[in-house]
């Protein structure tokens, strides 16, 4: 397998804050690789360094065979980027935006029109190509930017929170487009997200990143099976948790107020016994482990779905002002 990305001790420090801490990862060709983490975990900083938009404080990375420190222009030509927030020109039409991109990224003159038609078809925007981007919906705009990211036939596509701020239905659509692109265009996709479903649905492998470090890295299914059981959530009047500690089928236990959060081997089989111990329960919930539980397991925190605190450029502005 050819490696698309290989980082060596990749580190970014903003004064006292270690945003990315000695990262060593490899990403193989043809993967959809996810960087999953809460805001401020270092996902976007990592992506920015891989895309040569930020200089690493220490360490380096090779992207498509080029070194981010010494061959930034080659790296840039070999990758496509879709930013967290819109970066298409809303006074221009969709097609004009693509045309400008083709000019700036050196798509040969005789291939321009053909490539533009091709990527427009990929994201179903042929009918709206001559409309001004201002008239596009959020989802259409994101699709246009996906198309633009692919226009110069990059080997790797970076997607920074590709569905942030989109409604659930549009998000589904964008996911379907991304899946199709990977198949038809044979690109490696590296995606940052703080949406669990997104990572679960799209990614072959997920790196859970927290405080600039990799907390876990594997296929989503493998990560989930590492939990080793089902999740049982109980709201009880008077939790008697001491006795639960002796049960060997309970793998982990968390209590916050009246709510018990248990990881249980074969939960449905042991439910009666557990209820017998804890007494009357106001609510009982049994489910299989999700990535969210994996995340909680590795970071001790729940990821909250809130607006991102800013994309690549906000991060860079942040560096510039020296915080």
Partner 1 sequence: MGELEGFYALWYREIKVFTREKSRIVSSLFTPLLWIVVFGGGLGSAVSLGGVNYQVFIFPGILTMTILFSSVFFGLYIVWDKKIDFFKEVLVAPLSRTTIFAGKMVGGSIDALLQGCAMLLFGLVLRINYSLVEICIAFVFMFVLSSALVSLGLIIGSNMESVEGFQLIVSFLVFPMFFLSGALFPTKNLPTYLLVFTALDPVTYAVDGLRGAILGTSQLPIALNLLILSCFAAVMVAIGTWTFKRLK
Q: Which of residues 163-202 bind partner 1 (CB under 8 A)?
A: none
User: Where are any strands of DSSP class E within the chain?
Assistant: 3-14, 17-23, 26-28, 32-36, 58-63, 66-67, 79-82, 156-160, 188-193, 205-210, 213-218, 230-236, 250-256, 259-264, 281-288
The residue with tokens 């993967």 is: 31
Binding characters for partner 1, 248-267, by CB under 8 A (x = yes):
--------------------
Binding characters for partner 1, 299-318, by CB under 8 A (x = yes):
-------------xx--xx-
Question: According to the binding rule CB under 8 A, does residue 54 interact with partner 1?
Answer: yes
Question: According to the binding rule CB under 8 A, does residue 319 interact with partner 1?
Answer: yes
Question: According to the binding rule CB under 8 A, does residue 50 interact with partner 1?
Answer: no
Nearer to partner 1, 114 or 305 (CB): 114
Contact 50, 158 (CB under 8 A): yes
Cα 221 to Cα 206: distance, rounded to the nearest angstrom: 10
Task: Choose which of 1, 104, 238, 307 interacts with partner 1 (CB under 8 A).
Answer: 104
How far apart, in Å, are the Cα atoms of 44 and each of 215, 249, 257, 295, 312?
A: 16, 39, 35, 18, 6
Q: Give the total of residues touching partner 1 (CB under 8 A).
A: 32
Structure tokens at 180: 């199709």
Question: According to the binding rule CB under 8 A, does residue 85 interact with partner 1?
Answer: yes
How far apart, in Å, are the Cα atoms of 106 and each of 53, 153, 158?
A: 19, 11, 19
Binding characters for partner 1, 107-136, by CB under 8 A (x = yes):
-------------------------x----
Q: Which of residues 9-48 bind partner 1 (CB under 8 A)?
A: none
Question: According to the binding rule CB under 8 A, does residue 53 interact with partner 1?
Answer: yes
DSSP 8-state secondary structure symbol assigned to residue 310: -
Structure tokens at 95: 């097609």
In whole angstroms, how close is the CB of 82 to partner 1 at the nearest point? 10
Question: According to the binding rule CB under 8 A, does residue 148 interact with partner 1?
Answer: yes
Question: According to the binding rule CB under 8 A, does residue 96 interact with partner 1?
Answer: yes
Helix-strand-coil split of the chain, %, nearest 5: 40, 30, 35
Stretch that binds partner 1, among 78-86, 184-192, 206-214, 295-303 (CB under 8 A): 78-86
If one counts every other C-beta atom within 10 angstroms of the C-beta of residue 242, the result is: 8
Task: Choose which of 13, 77, 233, 265 interacts with partner 1 (CB under 8 A).
Answer: 77
Task: Choose which of 10, 51, 61, 147 interacts with partner 1 (CB under 8 A).
Answer: 51
Contact 160, 124 (CB under 8 A): no
In whole angstroms, how close is the CB of 92 to partner 1 at the nearest point? 6
The site for partner 1 (CB under 8 A) is made up of 51, 53-54, 73, 76-77, 81, 83, 85-89, 91-92, 96-97, 100-101, 103-106, 132, 148, 312-313, 316-317, 319-321
């Amino acid at each position: 397998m050819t490696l698309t990305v290989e980082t060596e001790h990749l580190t970014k420090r903003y004064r006292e804050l270690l945003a990315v801490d000695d990262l060593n990862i490899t990403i193989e060709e043809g993967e959809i690789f996810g960087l999953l983490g809460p805001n401020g975990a270092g996902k976007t900083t990592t992506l920015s360094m891989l895309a040569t938009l930020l200089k690493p404080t220490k360490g380096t990375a090779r992207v498509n065979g080029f070194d981010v420190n010494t061959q930034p222009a080659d790296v840039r030509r070999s990758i496509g980027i879709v930013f967290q927030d819109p970066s298409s020109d809303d006074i221009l039409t969709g097609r004009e935006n693509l045309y400008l991109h083709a000019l700036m990224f050196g798509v040969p003159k005789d291939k321009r029109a053909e490539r533009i038609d091709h990527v427009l078809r990929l994201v179903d925007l042929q009918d709206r190509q001559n409309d001004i981007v201002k008239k596009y919906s959020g989802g259409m705009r994101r699709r246009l930017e996906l198309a633009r990211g692919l226009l110069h036939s990059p080997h790797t596509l970076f997607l920074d929170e590709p569905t942030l701020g989109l409604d659930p239905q549009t998000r589904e659509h964008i996911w379907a487009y991304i899946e199709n692109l990977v198949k038809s265009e044979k690109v490696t996709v590296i995606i940052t997200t703080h949406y669990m479903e997104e990572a679960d649905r799209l990614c072959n492998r997920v790196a859970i990143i927290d405080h600039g470090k990799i907390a876990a890295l594997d296929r989503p299914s493998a990560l989930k099976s590492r939990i080793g059981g089902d999740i049982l959530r109980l709201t009880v009047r008077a939790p008697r948790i001491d006795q639960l500690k002796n049960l060997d089928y309970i793998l982990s236990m968390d209590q916050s107020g009246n709510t018990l959060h248990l990881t249980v081997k074969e939960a449905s089989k042991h439910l009666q016994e557990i209820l017998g111990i804890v007494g009357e329960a106001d609510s009982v919930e049994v489910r299989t482990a999700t990535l969210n539980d994996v995340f909680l397991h590795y970071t001790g925190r729940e990821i909250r779905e809130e607006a991102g605190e800013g994309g690549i450029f906000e991060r860079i502005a942040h560096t510039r002002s020296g915080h």
